[in-house]
Structure formats: C-alpha cells, structure tokens
C-alpha cells in the first residue's frame, strides 16, 4: 500500500504581493499539518488575476525561472515541510513570457517547469496578450510521493492534456486555476461545468485529480470585475468528488489515496489496453481532417 494524502487550497489575492505569499505559505503549512505531502496552490497566486485587463505595465510582473524569488521561497518551504509543491508563476524567458509552473520536490529541489499549453482569450480572460503558448509539451514528474502531471487552468478543458499525462504515467493529475464570473455576461456560471470536465478526466484515466481555484472579487482597471468561483475539489479515480470547498471561503481540502490500489484498478479496467491510437488521426488537425502539413 502506497498511501498519499493530497491537498487542494484556495485563497483571495490582492496587490499586497508579500501578503499573498504569506497566505499561501500559511495554507501549505496547514495542509502539511493535516498530513498532506502533495499540495496544490492556485494559478498565479502571487498577484490578482491581471489578465482581466490588457496593460503593458503588467508585463513587468514576469520574472525568469532561474533565480526566481517566489520559487526559491516555496522551495525552502517544501524542504522544511517535506512536501511536493507545484509553484505557479509568471515567467519571462528571453523576449517571451509564459504562464508557467515549477515543480518543487519534497527535498526542495526544483525538478523543472511546465509552460501552459492552451492560452485562452475572451472578455476578462485575455491571456494571449500576456502569454506565449507553452513549448514544453505535456510533462510528468517523478517526485518523492509518486509521478505527477500538472496542467494549468485552460489546459483543464482539453482531454488530450489529461490523457497525455496519464499515458506518460501520471499517478495524480493537478490543475491550478483562476476561473470565475464572466464580465460580459453576469448570467453565466460555469463552475459546475468546470468541475464536471475535470471529473471526467479523472474517471476516463482512472487517476485522482486535484483542482485549486481562487476566491473573492477582483476589480479590473477598466471598471470590470471577476468574482472567482472557489469550489476547489479533489476527485477520486472514478471522477467522484471526495472533497470540495465552498465558493467564498479560503481553506484547505485533503484526501488520501492508495496509489498502488489505484494502479491495479487502472490496469484492470482496460481503457489503456483497448486504446486505438491508429484511429485518432483527426486529433492531429484543427478541422478533424488528417493533417497534410505540420501544424503551426
């Protein structure tokens, strides 16, 4: 038996960057105190969700992966607590900027990074203004607690991302996110849809899943605002929610899984045995036709 306690967290963010980091650290400490060894913080927790506006000044928030102060701080914390800790950050790499996540192992070692592959663009969520499409490809990481796969927010709507990580051997899927109300239509509420899509990833791949979102209302600079859904959750390998946060409060969720038993369940169910990759050529194109030239 390989029992692993995992944790999802959620919190508010404002323009007190040190305060945001302090709150995030407090949540990690709480989760570790409750036995969690794999702890997920939300997407871009260092600041408010600045993609609500298109302002060149916000590009100055990006920082390189090497020598990154945020990653260094949470690397020290991971080492102190003996926990695995993905750390979301706004990355500058040469002339490009990415929505990235650093994977910090339980000894504080930074194993590398993943850059968000799917970049959304819509009212209030204008990420294409800030982020280049990620160029790392989907990745998994051998950590002290097992092999994990991490996607970022909009990645969670694409089953190909989850399946790729599962095929690469991910034993747990993690999605830090920032999702809330739609500034252009207050009647839209995608929170349940958001959960169900990821529950499907867990069930289809027989892999536990952790999703961490932010809470609170964040005003934009042009008179708009987004109220984030919270509703962070943990799903078991059948897709059932085993822990769920509310829509407003900050906090920590935990759940414990037997990774060996789940591995046996995954092998026994046959969904990987019965795959037919030779039939999936339409997935390699945007229009459903087998591609005749490389996609750009």
The distance from CA 147 to its chain's CA centroid, rounded to whole angstroms, is: 15
CA distance 111 to 136: 14
For the annotated catalytic residues, the residue numbers are 43, 116, 153
Q: In the predicted model, is pLDDT for residue 295 greater than 60? A: no
Rg (CA), the chain: 18
Q: Strand, helix or coil at 90?
A: strand
Selection from 144, 160, 71 nearest residue 110 by Cα: 71
Q: In the predicted model, is pLDDT for residue 294 greater than 90? A: no
Q: Strand, helix or coil at 102?
A: strand
Q: Show the CA angle centred on residue 148, arms to residues 145 and 149, nearest 5°.
A: 170
DSSP characters over 196-260 = HHHHHHHHHHT--EEEE--EEEEE-TTS-EEEEE---EEE-TTS-EEEE--SS--EEEEEEEEHH
102-159 pLDDT, tens digit per residue, is: 999 999 999 999 999 999 999 999 999 999 999 999 999 999 999 999 999 999 999 9
CA distance 88 to 18: 15
User: What Å distances lie between residue 292 and 93, 207, 240, 279, CA to CA?
Assistant: 32, 34, 40, 16
> In 10 A of CB 274, how many CB atoms?
7
Q: Strand, helix or coil at 2?
A: coil
pLDDT band per the 50, 70, 90 thresholds, residue 181: very high
Tokens of 126: 């204008």
5-29 pLDDT, tens digit per residue, is: 999 999 999 999 999 999 999 999 9
CA distance 38 to 145: 7
Pairing of strands 225-229, 121-122: unpaired
240-283 pLDDT, tens digit per residue, is: 999 999 999 999 999 999 999 999 999 999 999 999 999 999 99
Q: In the predicted model, is pLDDT for residue 1 greater than 90? A: no
pLDDT attached to residue 267: 96
pLDDT attached to residue 121: 96
Q: Would you say the C-alpha torsion 114, 115, 117, 119 has a positive or negative sign?
A: positive
pLDDT attached to residue 69: 98
Q: In the predicted model, is pLDDT for residue 232 greater than 90? A: yes
183-213 pLDDT, tens digit per residue, is: 888 899 999 999 999 999 999 999 999 999 9
Tokens of 168: 């690469």
pLDDT attached to residue 292: 61
pLDDT attached to residue 293: 62
């Amino acid at each position: 038996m390989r029992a692993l306690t995992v944790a999802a967290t959620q919190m508010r963010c404002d323009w007190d960057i040190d305060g945001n980091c302090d709150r995030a650290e407090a949540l990690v400490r709480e989760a570790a105190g409750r036995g969690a060894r794999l702890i997920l913080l939300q997407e871009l927790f260092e600041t408010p969700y600045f993609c609500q506006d298109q302002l060149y000044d916000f590009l100055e928030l990006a920082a390189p992966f090497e020598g990154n102060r945020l990653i260094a701080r949470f690397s020290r914390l991971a080492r102190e607590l003996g926990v695995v800790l993905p750390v979301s950050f706004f990355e500058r790499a040469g002339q490009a900027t990415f929505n990235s996540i650093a994977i910090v192992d339980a000894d504080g070692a930074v194993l590398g990074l993943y850059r968000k592959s799917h970049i959304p663009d819509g009212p209030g969520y204008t990420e294409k203004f800030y982020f280049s499409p990620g160029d790392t490809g989907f990745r998994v990481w051998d950590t002290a607690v097992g092999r994990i796969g991490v996607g970022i927010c909009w990645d969670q709507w694409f089953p190909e991302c989850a399946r790729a990580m599962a095929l690469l051997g991910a034993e747990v899927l993690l999605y830090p996110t920032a999702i809330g109300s739609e500034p252009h239509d207050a009647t839209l509420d995608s929170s349940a849809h958001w959960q169900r899509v990821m529950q499907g990833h867990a069930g289809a791949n027989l892999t536990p899943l952790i999703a961490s979102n932010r809470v609170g209302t964040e005003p934009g600079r042009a008179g708009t605002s987004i109220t984030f859904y919270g509703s962070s959750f943990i799903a078991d390998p059948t897709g059932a929610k085993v822990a769920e946060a509310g829509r407003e409060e900050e906090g920590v969720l935990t759940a414990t899984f037997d990774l060996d038993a789940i591995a046996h369940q995954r092998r026994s169910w046959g969904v990987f045995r019965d795959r037919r990759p030779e039939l999936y050529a339409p997935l390699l194109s945007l229009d459903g036709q087998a591609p005749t030239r490389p996609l750009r």
